[in-house]
Amino acid sequence: MTPLHTTDPDIAEFLESELERERQVLEMIPSENIVSRAVLEALGSVLTNKYSEGYPTKRYYGGNQFIDEVETLARERAKALFSAEHANVQPYSGSPANLAVYFALVKPGDTVMGMSLAHGGHLTHGHKVSITGTYYNAVQYPVGDDGFIDYDVVRALALEHKPKLIFCGATAYPRIFDFEKFRAIADEVNAYLVADMAHVAGLIAGGVHPKPFPHADVMTTTTHKTLRGPRGAMILCKREDRLHDIHHAGSKHDLATLIDRAIFPGLQGGPHNHQTAAIATTLKEAAEPTFKTYAENIVKNAKALAESLLNEGMTLVSGGTDNHLILMNLRPQNVNGAVIETALDDAHITVNKNSIPNDPAPPMKPSGIRIGSPTLTTRGFTEDDMRVVGQLIAQIIKAPNDVSVRESVKAKVAELTSAHPIYPNLSYL
Ligand SMILES: *Cc1c(COP(=O)(O)O)cnc(C)c1O
């Protein structure tokens, strides 16, 4: 029972440095968050020791009575929170969860459709460098010139290409998804509708964004973004395969069984039980009234930040935000996202460079940055704080090479972070 700092002082040192970094910076990457002590404890637990291939009560290894309890509780909580008929909590992360959905529902070479990465979609929605754009005939839909999804365009592409599976969901889209419209389009071409809610799952759980069910057949989500849990993912779905006779005639399986079999034995081996326990705890936290307030505050804070940036003369894709993130178009400022990412980093504000829709600039020097509110909201930042943060970001954008501006922003960041501390008693040394 030798502690980490004795066994491996190098790693302990790096953990302490990362903890200090997280304490000191404004972490504004929209796909990140700060988990609770309870989630950290579950994640760092003895459950990592156990092999449990299979599902509760149907395992390939003995000694799983408590693992079964953990996984069953996680599944029940997931179903209740998202109004789902079935839940699989074993996916190692978001990308394998999506891959399992393809494996469950379509065959290599089949046509699938998702939002283009360049317009805010995820790699796993059919991008050409992803396995999903290589093994499947992937059709990609754009956003309209106003930055919003144009459902007429999505429908026209669907009618033209007849995908068997349509993904909705995104990683850089600041607006709300209309699941009813997506489902109507899916119905016209007999496609499955998969809602990948990785980014906004916490907003859905908190009741500030609409639920994909009953419109979607399947919902996938990561658990580590707005949901504020450990790195991991879930697949939620209906029980019945409503397109069984069209796409899976001859199969004896319902949709829930197709999904479960795609995760194990299709794609994965033993589940990460420590991760499952931490997901269960995350779902308990997300069902509490305080989480509803948290989700409301994420959106309020993103809107306050957007308003502040607009007041500073900045340009936002789609003109603002309905969720936890902002996509800023830096072209009017004649500067690229990579330069601003680095300049902000030096001032202790962490964001990521990002392409904007129809970006003429290359992906490594794109025209935008993506900024999110989940982490700062977890720290207790208010709308007033966010307006100040907006001013600080704008100061850097207007003078990315000015060292004195950078130093004054960094000092202001130190004030803000010390007013909203995290992990007060934690230390790895
Ligand atoms: C983050 C994300 C994923 C992938 O999650 P990883 O855990 O990074 O594999 C999938 N889809 C969307 C929409 C995402 O935002």
Mean pLDDT of 390-395: 98
Residue 124 is assigned to a structural domain of this protein? yes
Task: Dump pLDDT digits (tens) for 348-382.
Answer: 999 999 999 999 999 999 999 999 999 999 999 99
CATH number for 92: 3.40.640.10
Q: Are residues 255 and 355 in the same domain?
A: no
- Residue 376: count other Cβ atoms within 10 Å of its Cβ: 25
Choosing from 31, 221, 222 the residue with most ligand 1 atoms within 8 A of its CB, the one to mutate for a pocket test is: 222
* Closest listed residue to residue 37, CA positions, set 50, 19, 25, 21: 19
Split at pLDDT 50, 70, 90, the class of 177 is: very high
pLDDT at res. 334: 95
Whole-angstrom distance, CA of residue 199 vs CA of residue 222: 8
Choosing from 89, 98, 122 the residue with most ligand 1 atoms within 8 A of its CB, the one to mutate for a pocket test is: 122
Q: Are residues 125 and 143 in the same domain?
A: yes
| Residue 80 and residue 228 in contact, taking contact as beta carbons nearer than 8 Å | no
Domain boundary among 255, 286, 317: 286
Q: Cite the active site residues.
A: 51, 53, 196, 222, 225, 231
Ligand 1 first shell, C-beta below 6 A:
31, 93-95, 98, 122, 124, 169-171, 196, 198-199, 222, 233
* Closest listed residue to residue 89, CA positions, set 59, 56, 60: 56
Kindly report the protein residue whose alpha carbon is nearest to atom 6 of ligand 1: 94
Kindly give the distance from the C-alpha atom of residue 325 to the centroid of ligand 1, in angstroms, as a whole number. 15
The atom of ligand 1 lying closest to the CA of 121 is 13
CATH number for 369: 3.90.1150.10
Q: Are residues 392 and 406 in the same domain?
A: yes
pLDDT at res. 135: 97
Choosing from 99, 124, 203 the residue with most ligand 1 atoms within 8 A of its CB, the one to mutate for a pocket test is: 124
Q: Are residues 303 and 282 in the same domain?
A: no
Mean pLDDT of 210-215: 98
Integer CA distances (angstroms), 105 to 92, 176, 218, 251, 342, in order: 19, 26, 10, 11, 42
Task: Dump pLDDT digits (tens) for 35-56.
Answer: 999 999 999 999 999 999 999 9
Residue 150 is assigned to a structural domain of this protein? yes
Q: Are residues 282 and 302 in the same domain?
A: no
Kindly report the protein residue whose alpha carbon is nearest to atom 5 of ligand 1: 94
The atom of ligand 1 lying closest to the CA of 232 is 7
Q: Are residues 18 and 152 in the same domain?
A: no
Domain boundary among 260, 286, 312: 286
Mean pLDDT of 161-165: 98
Domain boundary among 239, 259, 286: 286
Residue 334 is assigned to a structural domain of this protein? yes
Kindly report the protein residue whose alpha carbon is nearest to atom 4 of ligand 1: 94
- The residue assigned the tokens 């829930």 is 256
Q: Are residues 114 and 203 in the same domain?
A: yes
Alpha-carbon dihedral sign for residues 22, 28, 31, 33: positive
Residue 426 is assigned to a structural domain of this protein? no
Strand partners, 194: 167, 218
Whole-angstrom distance, CA of residue 282 vs CA of residue 101: 23
Split at pLDDT 50, 70, 90, the class of 5 is: very high
Whole-angstrom distance, CA of residue 213 vs CA of residue 217: 7
Q: What is the 3-state secondary structure (H, E, C) of 264-325?
A: HHHHCCCCCHHHHHHHHHHHHHHCCHHHHHHHHHHHHHHHHHHHHHHHCCCEEHHHCCCCCE
Residue 38 is assigned to a structural domain of this protein? no
Kindly report the protein residue whose alpha carbon is nearest to atom 15 of ligand 1: 171
pLDDT at res. 233: 98
Residue 39 is assigned to a structural domain of this protein? no
pLDDT at res. 159: 98
Total domains, the chain: 2
282: Cα within 13 Å, side-chain hemisphere: 32
- What three-state secondary structure class fits 175? coil
Residue 357 is assigned to a structural domain of this protein? yes
Q: Are residues 175 and 314 in the same domain?
A: no
Kindly give the distance from the C-alpha atom of residue 129 to the centroid of ligand 1, in angstroms, as a whole number. 15
Mean pLDDT of 337-356: 97
State both tokens at 209: 């964004």
Q: Are residues 222 and 350 in the same domain?
A: no
Residue 19 is assigned to a structural domain of this protein? yes
Task: Dump pLDDT digits (tens) for 244-295.
Answer: 999 999 999 999 999 999 999 999 999 999 999 999 999 999 999 999 999 9
Q: Are residues 249 and 120 in the same domain?
A: yes
Structural domain harbouring 212: 44-286
Q: Are residues 337 and 385 in the same domain?
A: yes
- The residue assigned the tokens 């005639």 is 249
Over pLDDT 90: what percentage of the chain? 100
Q: Are residues 217 and 317 in the same domain?
A: no
Mean pLDDT of 57-82: 98
